[in-house]
């Protein structure tokens, strides 16, 4: 009789107040594994979440992390160790693997997450056995079951999003009555090609819709559980036709949760806003910049005439919304950043946020950073490198941009 392989998924989570204990990404992976035909017959999987809040990260040590892994499943009994590789956990991965090996782990290492890109993953993490670039719901169980002696394999497997298991419906992510906040998705991927963004499917370059019946069943559950806020992770919620059906169903069941949706100005319509008006909806617009040259460099074209028109439409409907910008973009100057802020303020938008640019593994902008003489630096306790200088602005000018961004946040709190 073949031994049942024991696997452990380790994630490094920035927890948010009111959010359910298991993060959504981990929940989706675990749910996919546990709905697999060979689960419990050929393999099992557990989960360990390592908190990455500022206070927790200061207290983190590789020894403590490895001890935590060993307590969940003894390292000598563990067959597969799957580690989530994100920009904030990247520097932990190799030391964890090394110490696990020293303490008796003889199994295979599985690495997945946004940092795993086919071109660079082996260089970043030379100790991996299996690398999963892209979506992992189908590739993770295959990696666990893989008995091929060859190491350093890239594992890619197409996910059937129509039949993808729900971590909410199967209880992988448990919800308390009156849960303050959850993350949720109705689709995966993005049709746009912003060269700084890792949301889009870097492999298939498409949008994958989840099954509508599952979506409706999840909404029913959120209604029953009286969830207070639903952060919808879809990069552009209002870009596919099923968003109308989803909103109509939420209206039908009288959903009261606050729906936080990421949307594009160019896709705003009266029909969409009429549905939002019947629900508790807050819209998030990632405009990034109003400067045409900057938008061309980051391949994030904005139709500013449509933007202007639809800002007025949103205000006519009295729709709650916010707009975010990015500072530290190649081609950007201190003056152009101030002009982007002024554009929004002149249109009586008070809820403006600005975030520093960071380069994500596998994105086109990260690959071309030398072309713009980009300099990165860790700017806060997150340990994440951000762009602080390039050929269009100095470090001192970036500091001024940051002060303007902080002023926006302060004025928002004050209002």
**Do residues 119 and 133 make contact, with C-beta atoms less than 8 angstroms apart?**
no
> What residues contact 272, with CB distance under 8 A and at least 6 apart?
238, 243, 244, 247
Overall fold of domain 5-154: Rossmann fold (3.40.50)
Is CATH 3.20.20.70 correct for 182-414? yes
Q: In the prediction, which pLDDT does 387 show?
A: 95
The answer on pLDDT for 414 being more than 60 is no
* Tens of pLDDT, residues 176-225: 999 999 999 999 988 888 888 865 444 555 788 999 999 999 999 999 99
Segments of the chain assigned to CATH 3.40.50.280? 5-154
Tell me the whole-structure pTM to 2 decimals: 0.91
Distance, CA of 340 to CA of 8 (rounded, Å): 46
Band (pLDDT 50/70/90 cuts) for residue 352 is very high
Tokens standing for residue 402: 């940051």
């Amino acid at each position: 009789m073949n031994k049942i392989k024991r696997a452990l998924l380790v994630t490094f989570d920035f927890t948010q107040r009111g959010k359910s204990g298991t993060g959504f990404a981990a929940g989706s992976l675990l749910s996919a594994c546990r709905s697999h035909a060979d689960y419990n017959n050929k393999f099992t999987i557990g989960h360990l979440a390592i908190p990455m809040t500022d206070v927790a990260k200061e207290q983190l040590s590789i020894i403590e992390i490895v001890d935590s892994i060993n307590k969940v499943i003894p390292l000598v009994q563990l067959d597969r160790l799957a580690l989530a590789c994100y920009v904030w956990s990247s520097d932990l991965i190799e030391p964890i693997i090394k110490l696990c090996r020293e303490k008796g782990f003889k199994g295979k290492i599985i690495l997945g997450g946004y940092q795993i890109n086919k071109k660079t993953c082996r260089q970043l993490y030379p100790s991996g056995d299996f690398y999963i670039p892209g979506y992992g719901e189908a590739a993770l169980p295959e990696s666990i079951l893989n008995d091929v002696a060859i190491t350093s394999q890239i594992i890619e497997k197409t996910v059937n999003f129509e039949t993808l298991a729900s971590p909410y419906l199967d209880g992988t992510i448990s919800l308390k009555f009156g849960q303050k906040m959850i993350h949720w998705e109705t689709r995966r991927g993005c049709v746009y090609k912003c060269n700084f963004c890792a949301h889009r499917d870097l492999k298939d370059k498409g949008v994958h819709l989840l099954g509508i019946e599952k979506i409706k069943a999840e909404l029913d559950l959120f209604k029953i559980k009286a969830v207070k806020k639903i952060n919808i992770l879809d990069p552009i919620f209002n870009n596919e036709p099923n968003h109308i059906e989803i909103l109509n169903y939420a209206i039908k069941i009288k959903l009261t949760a606050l729906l936080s949706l990421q949307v594009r100005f160019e896709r705003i319509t009266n029909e969409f806003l009429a549905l939002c008006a019947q629900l508790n909806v807050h819209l998030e617009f990632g405009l990034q910049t109003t400067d045409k040259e900057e938008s061309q460099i980051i391949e994030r074209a904005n139709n500013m005439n449509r933007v202007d028109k639809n800002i007025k439409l949103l205000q006519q409907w009295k729709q709650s919304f916010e707009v975010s910008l990015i500072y530290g973009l190649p081609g950007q100057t201190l003056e152009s950043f101030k002009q982007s802020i002024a554009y929004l303020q002149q249109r009586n938008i008070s809820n403006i946020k600005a975030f520093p640019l960071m380069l994500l593994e596998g994105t086109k902008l990260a690959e071309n950073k030398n072309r713009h003489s980009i300099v990165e630096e860790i700017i806060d306790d997150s340990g994440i490198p951000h762009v602080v200088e390039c050929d269009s602005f100095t470090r001192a000018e970036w500091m001024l941009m940051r002060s303007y961004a902080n002023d926006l946040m302060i004025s928002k709190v004050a209002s």
